[in-house]
A and B are shown apart, each in its own frame.
Chain A
Amino acid sequence: MSSAQLEIQLIACLVAIACAIPGTFLVLRKMAMISDAISHSILPGIVIGFFITQDLNSPLLILLAALTGILTVVLVEYIQKTGLVKEDTAIGLVFPALFSIGVIMIAKNANDVHLDVDAVLLGELAFAPFDRLIISGADVGPKSLWIIGTILAITVGLLFAFFKELKISTFDAGLAASLGFSPVAIHYGLMTVSSVTTVGAFDAVGAILVVALMIAPAATAYLLTNELKRMLIYAICFGVCSAISGYWVAHWLDASIAGSITTMLGILFLAVYLFAPNKGVIAVLYREKQQRTEVSLLTFLLHLKNHTDERERHVNHLNEHINWQKVRSKSVLDLALKNNMILLDNNIVSLTEKGEAFTSKAINYIITNKDAQIEDMKDDFFLFRG
């Protein structure tokens, strides 16, 4: 592995981490589309900055772009506040307008410089190692590595300092306000970080794919955990995994690095979406099937408890009276037998002590709806897990 390859992967990883952090909060605030808006509408800021400095990595350019990002948020909120259009419509109005201004500015003025629409939309990570940062004659590494590294350091610092504030204003803005934490300040702080990160990541992955790096890792992590800290860590891991694996996929296929990274993000999300232990599609389907079986089991046990008459408890009779198909009553019967809840004597079914106790407890739960009493049942019984 050459040093250029190593540098590209390092930049990609730092970009992924820097995006995953604000991205997690954007996803939780249901503001994923705002990141899309910011990533496009910072274009005029970048173009103006580029005209002034002739350098895609200048701090002024980052500042101007971040300002355009904030402007986007302000405009969206202003239009929304008039009550004439909804938020998504406001986003759809603002960002294409700003983006198109940027596109026209590039087309009119930047034809012969290395800022073109393709580079803006897709970025070019492969060229990043060529633009070196030279400090007093010494080569200290690619410029974009330093830029995204600085942005990431600031982001991480802010995250550690204001984690509690971010959490409370994301979960309950009303309480945050009443406790004296300004949710508005936090909101604009997050928007500023998102804008700055977008600009920093822009050079590497471009305007469209930066959205994927912000949203996809967080959305994937959301499916796997019930805790904010873990969600952040998982999101960062997914971002880094996609960055590295995406780089090598691009290397083997001789394709766009940014495109490959995003594809990997998509594949990771799909895998988690299908196979996540609790919220995944397969787990949900399995749980629903289990619940159906357990409802049947309970219905069956209740029937036995309510009818002492032998005729009512005959195996053949169960099909007719509970009105189930043969297969289903067979599987329910097997399940009850396996759990030692019933005894089969000459095709007459009767409840065991365990079955009796279980049924009473279950009825008691259903009537009183008292959760604390059935805490111990929740482990082995799906029905009560809600």
Chain B
Amino acid sequence: MISKENVNNETPTSTGVVAVKVDDLTVAYNYKPVLWDIDLEIPEGVLMAIVGPNGAGKSTLIKSILGILKPIAGSVSIYNKPYQKQRQLVAYVPQKGSVDWDFPTTALDVVLMGTYGSLGWIKRPGQKEKKEALEALEKVGMLPFKNRQISQLSGGQQQRIFLARALVQNASIYFMDEPFQGVDATTEIAIINILKELRKAGKTVVVVHHDLQTVPEYFDWVTFLNVKKIATGPVKDIFNDDNLTKTYGINYKVSIQE
């Protein structure tokens, strides 16, 4: 059971500064557009969910913002500068299934990879980076598993390792692709609590999310996406049946918790 104490009734802590700005973004795979002309502003300090049906382009949006995919049109800026100049400000948690968990490496080593960005080319992580990685592991409750080979971790533990790897980047903006996929309820609560802590520290967190039921509980900001942007704004204003129906195409009713 997910505890009801976590119900999100805080108002968005946004400072009015725009953290991420997406302009007229169009992305295509083999000439088939998966994102059409997206305009999006993500205010600083929000905990935002991106929701939409399968194939709506949620992961594609994140990957395009991070420069992993090249858009055919449009631009992205992070605090008014192109992503390439702001890499240090951004951390990314890819989908768990995007890597080979049989790779010969340990939990600590995966978290250490989060420090590679600030190290740059050629330089190796040293004692300072190792200390940071251990702290991040501690924060996600995975310190006892630091030397465990990653294939010997459960799905929830693997997700925590990914989260620790993002934490160690000490970024301002966090992008996470389905961090709750295939994790148990305990891990889900642990993860959302860390995300809320990040928001409290003034960070911006963007999460691709599937479970519509938990949107009002976990997030204060939401973007509806289905190839085009349907709506974006505070959860309490725009998370309604109208937008859900527009996004999912069917007459969608979600019972929003009081």
Contacts and interface: CB of A to CB of B under 8 A. Distances in A.
A28 B116 contact: no
B67 interface: yes
Q: Which of A28, A165, A168, A172 has the most CB of B within 10 A?
A: A172
B122 interface: yes
A385 to B, nearest CB: 8
B92 to A, nearest CB: 4
Interface string A159-197: 001111101101110110111110000000000000000
Contacts of B124: 163-164
A177 B66 contact: yes
A178 B104 contact: no
Interface string B52-81: 000000000001001110000000000000
Interface in B102-117: 103-106, 109-110, 113, 116-117
Nearest to B65: A178
Nearest to B103: A171
B106 A227 contact: yes
Contact of A172 (B84, B98, B122, B186): B98
Interface residues of B, number: 40
Contacts of B172: none
Given A177-B66, A178-B87, A178-B90, A168 B113 contact: yes
Contact of B184 (A171, A180, A369): A369
Nearest to B122: A161
Contacts of A179: 87, 116-117
B154 A171 contact: no
Interface stretch (A56-64, A122-130, A140-148, A370-378): A370-378
Given A164-B125, A178-B67, A228 B104 contact: yes
B144 A171 contact: no
Contacts of B43: none
B184 to A, nearest CB: 6
B106 A180 contact: no
Contacts of A165: 116, 121-122
A381 to B, nearest CB: 15
B99 interface: yes
A177 B144 contact: no
A174 B103 contact: no
Nearest to B69: A177
| Most chain B CB inside 10 Å of its own CB: which residue of A171, A174, A181, A231 | A174
A164 B114 CA distance: 11
Contact of B154 (A83, A181, A375, A386): A386
A177 B68 contact: yes
A175 B105 CA distance: 16
Given A164-B122, A174-B68, A177-B68, 12 more contacts: A162-B121, A164-B125, A168-B113, A174-B63, A177-B66, A178-B66, A180-B84, A180-B117, A181-B116, A227-B109, A369-B154, A371-B145
18 contacts: A28-B103, A28-B104, A162-B121, A163-B124, A167-B105, A168-B116, A170-B103, A171-B110, A172-B94, A172-B98, A175-B94, A175-B113, A178-B66, A180-B120, A181-B116, A222-B104, A225-B104, A227-B109
Interface of B: 30, 63, 66-68, 84, 87, 90, 92, 94, 98-100, 103-106, 109-110, 113, 116-117, 119-125, 141, 144-145, 149, 151-152, 154, 157, 165, 184, 186
Interface of A: 28, 30, 83, 161-165, 167-168, 170-172, 174-175, 177-181, 222, 225-228, 230-231, 369-372, 375, 385-386
